[in-house]
Chain A
Amino acid sequence: DAGVIQSPRHEVTEMGQEVTLRCKPISGHDYLFWYRQTMMRGLELLIYFNNNVPIDDSGMPEDRFSAKMPNASFSTLKIQPSEPRDSAVYFCASSPSHRGQSKAFFGQGTRLTVV
């Protein structure tokens, strides 16, 4: 298995533009997580899905952020409109159902820079 695949690896965009981050979880994993990492705030859980259904989105910072999981093999995190304070590394992770969230496999991350 190729692991969790995220795209793009790097994204530079101007303030106000829409940004879409993509994630392909490991096949057979029932949980999918989106995290954001910054120096100031560390790793923050934004939202997670179980069997394609959003379970907890309390970590999503504001309405500008939205996430979808249309099927078991694909998820997106969208920011519209983007702001400089959204600059961070965004990680997607997945885990098998019998382990819940305790053994998550992370992707390489997308480094987002909003100028």
Chain B
Amino acid sequence: LAKITQPISMDSYEGQEVNITCSHNNIATNDYITWYQQFPSQGPRFIIQGYKTKVTNEVASLFIPADRKSSTLSLPRVSLSDTAVYYCLVGPSAGNTPLVFGKGTRLSVIA
């Protein structure tokens, strides 16, 4: 399993862009990078998934450099409601390999 490192916590003001970087040096060839978001008292929610370069959806963008040893989740113009824990996971997009959740990054958005 890929070893994952991400910051424990981050603070941001409303309206700013937030970038959370995840390090996964020993990512395997068939591994994808997946991000989940968890609000207090709720289950985690899938945000975005990518394999290489850039992926964008209505919630976030995911930037993955050519060596794929790291990835950056970008949240544009955050609001107070983006306060949550963000988990970076690495693993195959299909099949019977379990996804392991780390401690995640606790993002606090301040007014």
**Chain A 74-105, CB within 8 Å of chain B: the 1/0 string?**
00000000000000000101000111111111
Q: In the complex, what residues of B have CB within 8 A of residue A25's CB?
A: none
- Contact residue among A4, A44, A102 (Cβ-Cβ distance under 8 Å from B93): A102
Which B residues from 56 to 104 make CB contacts under 8 A with A?
Answer: 87, 89, 91-104
How far, in whole Å, are A100 and B96 apart by their CA atoms in the complex? Answer: 7
Total residue contacts A-B, CB cutoff 8 A = 64
- Is the interface on chain B under 10, 10 to 19, 20 to 34, or 35 or more residues? 20 to 34
Indicate if A73 sits at the interface (CB-CB under 8 A).
no
Q: In the complex, what residues of B have CB within 8 A of residue A99's CB?
A: 93-94
- Is the interface on chain A under 10, 10 to 19, 20 to 34, or 35 or more residues? 20 to 34
Structural contact, B93 and A48, CB atoms closer than 8 A: no
Structural contact, A56 and B98, CB atoms closer than 8 A: yes
Structural contact, B43 and A100, CB atoms closer than 8 A: no
- Contact residue among A44, A55, A101, A106 (Cβ-Cβ distance under 8 Å from B91): A101
Indicate if A61 sits at the interface (CB-CB under 8 A).
no
Q: In the complex, what residues of A have CB within 8 A of residue B94's CB?
A: 97-100, 102
Structural contact, A45 and B99, CB atoms closer than 8 A: yes
How far, in whole Å, are A109 and B43 apart by their CA atoms in the complex? Answer: 6
**Nearest-Cβ distance from residue A109 to partner chain B, whole angstroms:** 5
Structural contact, A103 and B34, CB atoms closer than 8 A: yes
Structural contact, A45 and B98, CB atoms closer than 8 A: yes
Indicate if A42 sits at the interface (CB-CB under 8 A).
yes
How far, in whole Å, are A99 and B92 apart by their CA atoms in the complex? Answer: 9
- Complex A-B: 17 CB contacts under 8 Å: A42-B101, A42-B104, A44-B101, A45-B101, A56-B96, A93-B44, A99-B93, A100-B97, A101-B91, A102-B34, A102-B91, A102-B92, A104-B46, A105-B46, A106-B44, A109-B41, A109-B43
Report A's interface with B, CB cutoff 8 A. Answer: 4, 35, 42-45, 48, 50, 55-56, 91, 93, 97-109
Report B's interface with A, CB cutoff 8 A. Answer: 32, 34, 41-46, 49, 87, 89, 91-104
